[in-house]
Structure 1
């Protein structure tokens, strides 16, 4: 039977082997990806194809476009019949809905 120290040593050896294998896998994938990209570039050059010919968006959008994007509005799901106030169902419940629910009303009564 193995001792605790022997098991700890085996575990450390296995963890090192796992780390080495993961690094080898990452390196292999990186090399394969590089080769595939080079093949694609060569084929595109041979046939006179540009990235625009492939259609769709190429690469990531500029940061300014992402940063300047307006937050999307969410449609209201609940309405207070007496005041007309609405709630989308996201975030904290509004006070009017909390009070109504505490008074015994059901949330289905406020559904749009």
Structure 2
């Protein structure tokens, strides 16, 4: 069985080896990136995503104009997602969805 001092020494040696390996792999990655950039004539400015067209569907939670309004309370619904309770109750009482259209 190893002593505590032996285990601590092994851990310190492993940590040094891990750090050296991380530095070496990082340097290799940087060299690969520089090589690819040189091959395609890219600059750091080319890597920026500023000014790029936004992808469709990105931006969860965007507002949509309401399509239906409860004239009694002023509550609105965009027509997306589940119907609100006030609209369900009104439809159940015999009114039509079109009665609430804006």
TM-score (norm 2): 0.47
Structure number with greater CO (CA < 8 Å, separation at least 6) is 2
Query: Which has the larger Rg?
Result: 2
TM-score (norm 1): 0.44
Greater fraction helix: 1
